[in-house]
Amino acid sequence: MSPENLLILALCLPLAGAVGVSLCGRWPDLRETLTVVTTLSTFSCVLGLLQAMRAGASVSVQWLEVFDGLTLSFHLEPLGMLYALVASGLWIPTALYGIGYMRAHEEKNQTRFFACFALAIFASLGIAFAGNLLTLFLFYEALTLSTYPLVTHHGDDQARRAGRVYLGILIGTSVAFLLLAILITWHVSGTLDFRPGGILAGHVEGPMVPILLALFAFGTGKVALMPFHRWLPAAMVAPTPVSALLHAVAIVKAGAFTVLKVMVYIFGIDFLAAEGASIWLMWVASFTILSASIIALTKDNLKARLAYSTISQLAYIVLGGALATASGVIGAGLHIATHAVGKITLFFCAGAIFVATHKKKVSELDGLGRRMPFTMFAFLLGSLSIIGLPPMAGAWSKWFLVLGALEGQHAIFVGVLMISSLLSIGYLMPVVVRAFFYKGETDDPDPSDGSHPGFWTGVREAPLLCVVPLCLTGLGCVLLFFYAEGLFELLQGVIVP
């Protein structure tokens, strides 16, 4: 199969899967089998595209001319390839986890859940492979609309309020700011194509450059830069598999990817550096990093704590792009992957804890490590990766972000990254310490005869389909540290010599 046809197949498989899942609603086993088969098939197509890219193939597809000279177009480039790998790869464990979680909770509307999930991956891959801003914008909006039913899945008043915040901020920012930025770009440059080195040099100058960058940065509400971040913690009312989708697989990564791709392929990092147009964005990202981390320290609800952690970590990616250095962009790209693996592990663990114990608060987790050792050890691995300690995947992205700050002679942002890592220790490690070193209220006292129960006696993990995915992604946090060279080589193709 040609790479062009493989790209079309990768886009169409999740869409076809959504239709198939909808038709199989009466037969849950068939529906879930079809979901898993679709995830595996989609990821296989993306791997095939990666192989074609490594072989030097230039893959472009034109679908439809929307306006004169503007088409729905798709193009394979390294940054989009990375995001496609993250979205399609993590869809596999998320689908398995979703099956276990939704069955354990006997959730309603499971068919709608799996169908909308597939539509979200379809939109995510459309964003990843978008060849121009028009294509990216249309799929960006499709992603928002396809995930709204997931955010409001429970259908209660709290879910509906969260849905209104979700749609209000994401649609409002994209229409008011992002669409305006795209129209200005088309007007001044005559094209919306993503090109190595950017398209704006020689077309805009002076104050217009940071203003246009601000429209793109704040117009991409999914990146959750403050003050347009409230939708993310509000959306935590959704089931945990949706939280995993929001924080790791698709939604927020679509926002971070969009901002980074615009900086690299629309502005160009050399142009940003020469104009000094992204310095203000470094400060906004730094404020978001630190303030969200501080707020996370105050949250007792585990998912809320992880939500503010995500807001902080997303700003790392924005900071890396805004540094406008080669190492900064590579660090930002790596962080898309490393944060995804680490954060999906943490949300899987939060969901498994809720399934097994119905506990949501950090203060309720005392002694849980003895009851759920696999879940809490995976939480430890994910936490260490988010903190950025070797040998965990997050160490590489933070290393390159620090190098990027030094390359750009912005040493103060090295301090921001270091303080943020310390704050990450402050809001993540207490969960681990409570679980493994505190005695829980339900812990059985030592037997009077002096005997000790076996290890498995007190283990009460969540269902297997919840535990296996979190163990796999926890292991991924380690493996990605030792096998990060492939991602690094891929991202080197983003940097124009």
Question: Got the DSSP string for 39-95?
Answer: HHHHHHHHHHHHHHHHTT---EEEEEEEETTEEEEEE--HHHHHHHHHHHHHHHHHH
pLDDT band at 329 (very low <50, low <70, confident <90, very high): very high
* pLDDT cut 90: percent of the chain above it: 73
In this predicted structure, the answer to whether residue 351 has a pLDDT above a threshold of 60 is yes
| Average pLDDT rounded to a whole number, residues 457-465 | 83
Q: What is the pLDDT of residues 191-237, one digit of tens each?
A: 999 999 999 998 999 999 999 999 999 999 999 999 999 998 888 77
| pLDDT for position 98 | 87
Write down the pLDDT at residue 442.
55
- 147-161: per-residue pLDDT in tens? 898 888 877 888 889
**What is the C-alpha R_g of the chain?**
22
What's the pLDDT band for 455 if we cut at 50, 70, 90? low
Instruction: Read off the pLDDT band of 250 (50, 70, 90).
Output: confident
138: pLDDT confidence band, cut at 50, 70 and 90?
A: very high
pLDDT in tens, 277-299: 999 999 999 999 999 999 999 99
Residue 130: beta bridge partners? 74
**The token pair that represents 185 in the structure block:** 């770009």
pLDDT at 458 over 90: no
Render pLDDT for 55-109 as a digit per residue (tens, 0 to 9).
988 899 988 877 777 889 999 999 999 999 999 999 999 999 889 888 877 778 8
- pLDDT value, residue 430: 95
Mean pLDDT of 39-49: 96
- Region 431-436: mean pLDDT is 94
Q: What is the mean pLDDT of the chain?
A: 90
Percent of the chain scored above 70 by pLDDT?
Answer: 95
- Which residue pairs from 98-103 have beta carbons closer than 8 angstroms and sit at least 24 positions apart in sequence? 98/241, 99/32, 99/35, 99/36, 99/465, 100/355, 100/462, 100/463, 100/464, 100/465, 100/466, 100/469, 101/239, 101/240, 101/241, 101/351, 101/355, 101/465, 101/466, 102/239, 102/241, 103/463, 103/465
> Is the link from the previous residue into 469 a cis peptide, with omega within 30 of 0?
no
CA angle 347, 138, 58 (to 5 degrees): 90
pLDDT at 449 over 60: no
